[in-house]
Amino acid sequence: MATHLEKLSTPGRKDIPVEAGEEFGILDRVLRFLGLAGAIIPTAAVLFIAAVLLVSALPSILFNGLGFLYHQSWNFGNFYSSATVTHNGIQAPTGASYGALPIIIGTLLTSIIAFVIGVPIAVGSALILVEKVPPPLRRTLSFFLELLAGIPSVVYGLWGLIVLGPFLAGHIYPILARLGAIIPWLGPPVGSGLGLLTAGLILAVMIIPIVASTTRDLLSQVPVLPREGAVALGLTSWESVRLVSLPWVFSGIVGASILGWGRALGETMAVLIVSGNGANFLPQNIYSPVSTIAATIVALLDSAESDPTGLAVSALAEAGLILMLITLATNILARLMVRRVSSTSLPIGRGV
């Protein structure tokens, strides 16, 4: 490394005029400015989307009040009757009432299942891929990870509906249901394989590539020296992974997991197909039909657009807003939880 830097600073090479400090001062500032612009864009986009959602959601917020958060029925009302009701100055079709509790719960539960199952599998498979699998096979298997990221969510959904759901309902869930004696919400009825657990599992399959591919890359970058040190101390390979590699890449895994969590919260089509759609009741057990905010939006946006009062689209916008708040809140929570395990003690990153 030292030799390379020496080469860089060798005077007389015209493409690296190190002594021309000012020129680089400008370059630094340009890079800094462009970087800032790039870094701001996602935040600006998210604020813009939130603003659009907030404006569209206002009628629904006024009409439904806090009940939106704890009521259990999602009812557009009758678009075909000319009669309307008015509440807080907002006009709505007769019978309209919106309660998002089941889809809020469904969103959280499916994502938690996906996270709890998906992240350990992703990290574990990345570990074995980097540490134990011989390189030629590793390359092939790594291919699969990225391939999984690009399979359309519709295809995941169809696979869940036709293959995974019936398989689980036929072979796995009945066995799992026997644990119902110990853990009540694992008990029967197991249903048809469309529901909470299946949706969570499909989401797990979908977030694995995001977490695993990042983890794999980070692990393969852990410097050789400290790991050799660990081996020299007589640690087993698992211990060297636990004590050296994992702490080294921890913050990167957290970041990737948060993105995976976000994807699970926001996934639409696949969940829509395998969730069994229980938008009007809370799940009774882990096999029960559920629905999520994102799936409800994609399923009902079409109907909502024909609400002459516009309240239906507004209610979906409010649901979307709540989803954004959930994402934000869980991200903050994750940050607070991992703050203690900071990576700054490691000789990586920007330094102090």
Partner 1 sequence: MRRRILDIVMWSLFGVALALVVLPAIDIIVGILAQSAGSWSPELLFTPTSGVAGGLLNAWTGTLMLMALLLIMAAPIGVLGGIYLAEFGSQRLAQILRFGSETLAGVPSIIVGYVIYLVFVVKFGWSFSALAGGIALTIMVIPYIMRSTEAALRQVPTNLREGGTALGLPPSLTIRRVLLPMALPNIMTGLVVAEAIAMGETAPLIYTAGWSNSLPTAQLIHQPIGYLTYVVWTYINQPFSQAHQLAYSAAALLLVLLLLLIGLGRLISARASRFNDRFQV
Partner 2 sequence: MYSKRSLWTGMLIIATLLATLLAGCAPTSTTQTPTETQPAAGSTSVPVTGGQGNPASPVTLLETGSSLLYPLFSAWAPVIHQTYPNITIQTASTGSGTGISQAVSGVVQFGATDAYMSDSQLSKATGIINIPLAISAQQINYNLPGITTPLNLSGPILAGIYQGNIQYWDDPAIKAANPNANLPHEKIIPVHRTDGSGDTFIFTQYLSFSDSAWNSSIGYNTSVSWPAVQGELGAEGNPGVVQTLAQTPYSIGYVGISFLNEVTSKGLGTAALKNQAGSFVMPTQANISAAAAAMVPKTPKDERVSLIFAPGADSYPIINYEYVAVQTQQSDAQVAAAMRTVLLWAISPKGGNAPSFLDTVHFLPLPDTVAPLSQAQIAQIQ
By rule CB under 8 A, what string of x and - marks binding of each residue 44-73 to partner 2? -----------------------------x
Q: What angle do CA 144, 251, 34 make, to 5 degrees?
A: 85
Residues 118-157 that bind partner 1 (CB under 8 A): 120-122, 124-125, 127-129, 132-133, 139, 141, 143-156
- Output the smallest distance, CB 211 to partner 2, in A: 24
The three-state secondary structure class of 90 is strand
Residue 327 makes contact with partner 1 by CB under 8 A: yes
Do 118 and 205 touch, CB atoms closer than 8 A?
A: yes
Question: Binding mask 202-241 vs partner 2 (x if CB under 8 A, - otherwise)?
Answer: ----------------------------------------
Measured from the CB atom, is 211 or 307 closer to partner 2? Answer: 307
282 in contact with partner 1 (CB under 8 A): no
**In 65-152, alpha helices (H):** 67-70, 101-131, 135-150
Which one among 11, 12, 14, 38 touches partner 1, defined by CB under 8 A? 38
Q: Should residue 255 be labelled a site residue for partner 1 when binding is judged by CB under 8 A?
A: yes
- Show contacts with partner 2 in window 89-108 (CB under 8 A): 93, 95
Q: Could you tell me the smallest distance in angstroms from the CB atom of residue 212 to partner 1?
A: 7
Helical (H) or strand (E) element with 97? strand 97-98
**The two structure tokens encoding residue 240:** 């060297």
Query: Could you say which of partner 1, partner 2, none residue 75 binds, taking C-beta under 5 to 8 angstroms by partner kind?
Result: partner 2
Among 59, 106, 118, 191, binds partner 2 (CB under 8 A): 191
CA 240 to CA 14: how far, in whole Å?
46
Taking CA atoms, 129 is separated from 122, 205, 216, 332, in Å, by: 10, 17, 7, 31
Question: What span, in angstroms and rounded, lies between the C-alpha atoms of 293 and 216?
Answer: 32
Q: Give Cβ neighbours of residue 350 (< 8 Å, ≥ 6 apart).
A: none
| DSSP secondary structure letter of residue 92 | E
Q: Among 92, 168, 267, 283, which residue interacts with partner 1 (rule: CB under 8 A)?
A: 267
Alpha helices in 151-292 (DSSP H): 153-159, 165-167, 173-177, 196-219, 224-232, 237-240, 246-266, 269-274
Could you tell which of partner 2, partner 1, none binds residue 278, using a CB distance below 5 to 8 A set by kind? Answer: partner 2
CA distance 105 to 340: 29
What mask of x and - would describe binding to partner 1 in positions 39 to 58, judged by CB under 8 A? Answer: xxxxxxxxxxx--xx-----
CB 62 to partner 2: min, Å: 19
